[in-house]
Amino acid sequence: MGKSSSRSAEYFFTERYEDDDDGNAIHAFGVGVNGVINAYGGNDNIVVGSINVTVNTTWGDDTISGATGYLKVNDTSGNLTVKGGSGFTSINKTQSGLIRFEGAAGGVKIQHTGDKSGIDYSGAAGYNSITRKGLQGDVSFKGAGVYNELWHETNQGNFYFAGAGGANKIDRTWFNRYQDSHGDLTFKGAGAANIISSRVESGNIDFEGAGAANSIVRQGKIGDVTLRGAGASNRIERIHQIDDRYSETRGDIRFEGAGGYNSLYSDVAHGNISFTGAGGYNEITRKGTANDFGREGMEYAKAEEIVLTNATMSGTWIGDPHQVMGLKFTREPNTYLFAFEDGTHTKINKVQLSNDPVTGKLRYLSTAWYKEGKHLKGLEKQDISAQGGFNSVDTDGAYTLSNLTVERQKQVTVYAVEKKLTENEWVNYGNGVQIDAADITLSDAKMGGYAIYRDGITVDVKAVKSNRMPNTYIYGKQLGEYTKIVVVELRNDPKTGTLQYFARPWYKEGHHTANLANENISYANGYHDMGTGSYSLSDIHYSANAVRKTSSRVPDMHEYSELDLFKSATVSGDSSGDIHYAGAGVAISSNPTSPVVMSALKAPALLM
């Protein structure tokens, strides 16, 4: 029996596999629930089959495959490939080398903190959390997930996404040096909500796909933003960083698509905005050096719209830095706690947000606290004060936050028009978007069809919300001796969550439009259904309640002084940029110092 065979037999009984620094074929199968494989060095090919297993590897190119309930991989240097299926997969890599994941899992968490190389993901999972931090390396995601949260923090490296998700949150930022940082971000796919942010010095964002709500922010010195696709709400920002020399900032926005509400904003020195598409309402703002409409962007967000998600906590009274998550403090408004336990004390940063009463700028006050013992459980409900037994540090820089991720969650109402509804079948709306049916409100429409007027004439109808059925609207018109009706029922698919509608035409002899909200429209009440094309709805006006999310990062903070959360960039010199527009109703605002060409085709525009 060879050494690999004997080790495999030993693993079956002991749940432990001790390899060596040679390149080996490792087979580890067992019925235990806490298997451990120490593969050490060499190019190992590891096949696992256990309920739960942890694989520890060091140097060398390793491949791990098989099926487990829970798979945890700790790797140092060399390339790492993980294949197969599991209930949950966790991969942590601390040195250079490519991570390649190919498979399916209930959830996947990948963290790569080595200096070089990237992450290549191909698969599917209910939840994907992928983090790449280091000097350089690309990230490629090809697959699907109910929720995908992808953080790419390298000075050099491109990001590529091709797939789908219920929601996709993508952050591309620099690691330890903004100057000369570069990376393009490409997105091809779909999601109910797509939140995309890039903050490197140079690089483009290219978005192609669909989503109920798309928020795309490119913040940096050089780079274009292009969107091709559709969404109920599209928000695109092309803005500069505090560290940029304003006169050198440039980048275009190109929009080709459709949306109920489209908002485009640019404040770089040089850049054009080109819009071709459709939307219920379109707002385009091109800001130059003038300050006549300066209150835009995250620095003027309302404190109650802000969520502080995570940060690095360090300082002169702390040893190694700690990654900490924000907790919403329940005892004070617009306040977040960041904390960790070091074995003897619980150490805390408390950050309270507010808006300057004069300028409207978003401000913060950070204070630092400690208390002996472990107090993280239920911390958000505790009294963080001297009265609560906590001690104030009273020193700036003792406990301090850096790389703070700030998310803005703004409630918006999107107004849009749907061209036509299909009758007598459940139809997925908007390429599978996942808006809650209760957040949709239908209003005016036109009714036509071969049983209305054969020459194509339509009549105006208004939506009446049914009191008898949830998320249901009734359109009715008295024509001749009949009341002609279309009932539109909205729902979320019970399996996928996709927004669907069912439009059913009915008629009944007599006048029955006086109390449509309480009308029983059924066979039992004397109504008769009609075939497809008989009564059809077109130009359906509707609104949708949504949350528009954008994110940014605060590099460093101070304690015990009330300060602006986002520093204002110095803006001076000439600015230039044209606006080219072809589409429906629009409000355009522009103030670059150089002459601007505004062209509005196919529909009148309101120029502000």
81: in domain: no
Residue 404 shares a structural domain with residue 432: no
Identify which of 157-161, 426-430, 588-592 has the greatest average pLDDT.
157-161
Residue 468 shares a structural domain with residue 438: yes
Residue 124: name the closest of 157, 155, 79, 89 by CA.
89
Residue 269 shares a structural domain with residue 234: yes
Residues in the chain: 608
What pLDDT band is residue 608 in, cutting at 50, 70 and 90?
very low
The pLDDT, as a whole number, for residue 227 is: 92
- CA 426 to CA 423: how far, in whole Å? 8
The pLDDT, as a whole number, for residue 128 is: 92
Residue 437 shares a structural domain with residue 520: yes
Domains in the chain, number: 3
Whether the pTM exceeds 0.75: the reply is no
213: in domain: no
Residue 337 shares a structural domain with residue 397: yes
Rg (CA), the chain: 29
Residue 451 shares a structural domain with residue 509: yes
Each residue's pLDDT tens digit, 288-316: 665 544 456 788 899 999 999 999 999 99
The pLDDT, as a whole number, for residue 474 is: 98
The whole domain housing 560 covers 305-409+546-569
208: in domain: no
Residue 388 shares a structural domain with residue 437: no
What pLDDT band is residue 496 in, cutting at 50, 70 and 90?
confident
Residue 505 shares a structural domain with residue 469: yes
134: in domain: no
160, 138 contact by CB (below 8 A): yes
85, 64 contact by CB (below 8 A): no
400: in domain: yes
Residue 384 shares a structural domain with residue 442: no
Residue 405 shares a structural domain with residue 550: yes
**CA dist 95 to 20, 59, 75, 589, Å?**
20, 9, 8, 49
Classified as helix, coil or strand, 11 is helix
37: in domain: no
- CA 49 to CA 71: how far, in whole Å? 10
217, 198 contact by CB (below 8 A): yes
Each residue's pLDDT tens digit, 159-205: 999 987 778 889 999 999 999 999 999 999 877 678 899 999 999 99
229: in domain: yes
Residue 310 shares a structural domain with residue 403: yes
What pLDDT band is residue 281 in, cutting at 50, 70 and 90?
low
467: in domain: yes
Q: Does residue 431 surpass a pLDDT of 60?
A: no
Higher pLDDT, residue 435 or 518:
518
Question: At 533, phi and psi to the nearest 5?
Answer: 95, -5
CA atoms within 13 Å, Cβ hemisphere of 259: 32
Q: Does residue 260 surpass a pLDDT of 70?
A: no
The pLDDT, as a whole number, for residue 72 is: 95
DSSP state for residue 517 in the 8-state scheme: G
Residue 502 shares a structural domain with residue 523: yes
Share of the chain above pLDDT 90, in %: 61
The pLDDT, as a whole number, for residue 606 is: 37
